[in-house]
C-alpha cells in the first residue's frame, strides 16, 4: 500500500477531528472557556483520569501478570469475566453500578459509614471511569506481560535474583512499553467515559458531561469547544507513552 493509500485511510479516520477543527472558531473557544467555572470540568476530568490510572496500575497490573503467567486456575474463566465487563455497554455498567454501590446497597451503606457516597461525587466519577477502562488496561497489560520470555525470568532467578527482584529488573522493564500503551488506552477511555458516568456521576462534571449539558442547554456551537479541549488535555499522556515505547524499542535494537 502506498503512502497515498495510507493517507486516505488516515484522513478518513480523522474525519470527525477535521470537521471539529472546521466548525469551531477561535472566538467561540475563547468565549466558552472564559465563562466562570469553565475550566472546572477540565480539572475534574484530569484529576479523575489520573486517579483512575493509579487505581488501574495498582490493582490490575498484578492481576494481569498472574493471568499472563498462568498463575490462576481455570484461566479461561478469569478471562471470560474480563471480557464480560468489556462487552457490557457503558450505559448498562452505569445502571448496574447504581445497584452495586448506590445509597441503599450493602456497599453503599459501608460507604455511608465511611462518610462517603458513590452517587454524583468525585468517588462515583472515578468508579465509573475505572469500570469503563479497566478491561482495556487488563487485556493490554496481560499481552505485555505474556510477551516477556519466561526463560529470561528463569535465568535471572538462576543468577540469584529472588522473584520480586526478577519482576523489577527483568519482567517490568521488558513489559513496560506494552504497559505504557495499555495505560494510554485506558486513559483515553477514562477521559471519554460517558455512559456509566452520566448514570452515577452526573456531578461533578467532567469534560464529556460538560459537552453533553452544554449541548442540551445552549446548543452545538458552544459545546464543540469542549471537544477540542478534551483532545488537547487528553492527548499528551498517550502521545508521551507512544514516544517512550518507540524509544525503548530503539534502545533495545542498539
Partner 1 sequence: MLHADVEVDRREFTVRATLQVAPGERLALFGPSGAGKTTLLETIAGLVQPRRGLISVNDRVLTSTDPPVRAVPSWQRRVGLLRQNPGLFPHLSVRDNLRYAPSVPRSGNEMSSLASVLGIGDLLSAMPARLSGGQAHRVALGRLLLAHCDVLLLDEPYTGLDASLRRTLTDLVSTLVAERGVPAMLVTHELGDAQAFADRLAVLDHGELLQVGAPNDVVLRPASRRVAELIGYLGFVPVGDTQAGVHPERVIAGAFGDRGLVLAGVITACRPAGAGWEADLRVGESAITCRLADKPSAADGEFTVTVLDPPYFGPDGSALPDAPVEGAGQMGARSGLWRAP
Tell me how far, at minimum, the Cβ of 167 lies from partner 1, in Å: 12
Q: Cell 469553565: give the residue.
A: 38
Q: Which residue number, 115 or 151, has a Cβ lying nearer to partner 1?
A: 151
Tell me how far, at minimum, the Cβ of 147 lies from partner 1, in Å: 11
Tell me how far, at minimum, the Cβ of 253 lies from partner 1, in Å: 5
With contact defined as beta carbons under 8 Å apart, do 230 and 32 qualify? Answer: no
Tell me how far, at minimum, the Cβ of 242 lies from partner 1, in Å: 18
Q: Which residue number, 156 or 229, has a Cβ lying nearer to partner 1?
A: 156
Grid cell, residue 42, equals 477540565
Grid cell, residue 6, equals 495510507
Q: How many chain residues touch partner 1 (CB under 8 A)? A: 23
Q: Please identify, among the stretches 25-33, 117-125, 188-196, 245-253, the one whose residues bind partner 1 according to the rule CB under 8 A.
A: 245-253
Q: Cell 462517603: give the residue.
A: 116
| CA–CA gap between residue 197 and residue 190 (Å, rounded) | 10
User: Binding of partner 1 at residue 248 (CB under 8 A)?
Assistant: yes
With contact defined as beta carbons under 8 Å apart, do 134 and 85 qualify? Answer: yes
Give the number of other CB atoms < 10 A from CB of residue 138: 25
Q: List the interface residues with partner 1, window 143-202 (CB under 8 A).
A: 149, 151-152, 154-163, 166, 169-170, 173-174
Name the E strands within the chain.
Answer: none
Q: Which residue number, 115 or 162, has a Cβ lying nearer to partner 1?
A: 162
Exposed/middle/buried for residue 187 (C-beta within 10 Å: 0-12, 13-18, 19+): buried
Interface characters, 111-150, with partner 1 (x: CB under 8 A): --------------------------------------x-
Tell me how far, at minimum, the Cβ of 165 lies from partner 1, in Å: 8
Q: Which residue number, 89 or 163, has a Cβ lying nearer to partner 1?
A: 163
Grid cell, residue 221, equals 456551537
Tell me how far, at minimum, the Cβ of 133 lies from partner 1, in Å: 27
Q: Which residue number, 109 or 154, has a Cβ lying nearer to partner 1?
A: 154
- Taken as a whole, the chain contains a residue count of 254
**Pick from 110, 60, 107, 53: nearest CA to 81:** 60
Q: Which residue number, 33 or 143, has a Cβ lying nearer to partner 1?
A: 143
Tell me how far, at minimum, the Cβ of 157 lies from partner 1, in Å: 4
Q: Which residue number, 132 or 153, has a Cβ lying nearer to partner 1?
A: 153
Q: Under the rule (CB under 8 A), what is the footprint of partner 1?
A: 149, 151-152, 154-163, 166, 169-170, 173-174, 248, 251-254
Amino acid at each position: 500500500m502506498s503512502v497515498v493509500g495510507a493517507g486516505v485511510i488516515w484522513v478518513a479516520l480523522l474525519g470527525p477531528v477535521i470537521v471539529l477543527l472546521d466548525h469551531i472558531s477561535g472566538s467561540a473557544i475563547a468565549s466558552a472557556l472564559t465563562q466562570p467555572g469553565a475550566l472546572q470540568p477540565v480539572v475534574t476530568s484530569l484529576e479523575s483520569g489520573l486517579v483512575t490510572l493509579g487505581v488501574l496500575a495498582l490493582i490490575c497490573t498484578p492481576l494481569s501478570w498472574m493471568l499472563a503467567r498462568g498463575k490462576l486456575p481455570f484461566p479461561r474463566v478469569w478471562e471470560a469475566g474480563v471480557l464480560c465487563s468489556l462487552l457490557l455497554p457503558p450505559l448498562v455498567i452505569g445502571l448496574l453500578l447504581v445497584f452495586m454501590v448506590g445509597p441503599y446497597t450493602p456497599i453503599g451503606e459501608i460507604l455511608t459509614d465511611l462518610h462517603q457516597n458513590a452517587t454524583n461525587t468525585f468517588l462515583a466519577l472515578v468508579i465509573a471511569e475505572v469500570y469503563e477502562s479497566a478491561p482495556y488496561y487488563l487485556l493490554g497489560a496481560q499481552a505485555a506481560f505474556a510477551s516477556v520470555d519466561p526463560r529470561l525470568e528463569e535465568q535471572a532467578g538462576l543468577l540469584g535474583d529472588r522473584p520480586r527482584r526478577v519482576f523489577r529488573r527483568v519482567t517490568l522493564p521488558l513489559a513496560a512499553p506494552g504497559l505504557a500503551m495499555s495505560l494510554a488506552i485506558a486513559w483515553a477511555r477514562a477521559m471519554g467515559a460517558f455512559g456509566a458516568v452520566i448514570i452515577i456521576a452526573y456531578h461533578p462534571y467532567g469534560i464529556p458531561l460538560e459537552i453533553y449539558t452544554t449541548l442540551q442547554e445552549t446548543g452545538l456551537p458552544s459545546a464543540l469547544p469542549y471537544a477540542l479541549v478534551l483532545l488537547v488535555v487528553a492527548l499528551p499522556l498517550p502521545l508521551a507513552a507512544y514516544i517512550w515505547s518507540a524509544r525503548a524499542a530503539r534502545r533495545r535494537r542498539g
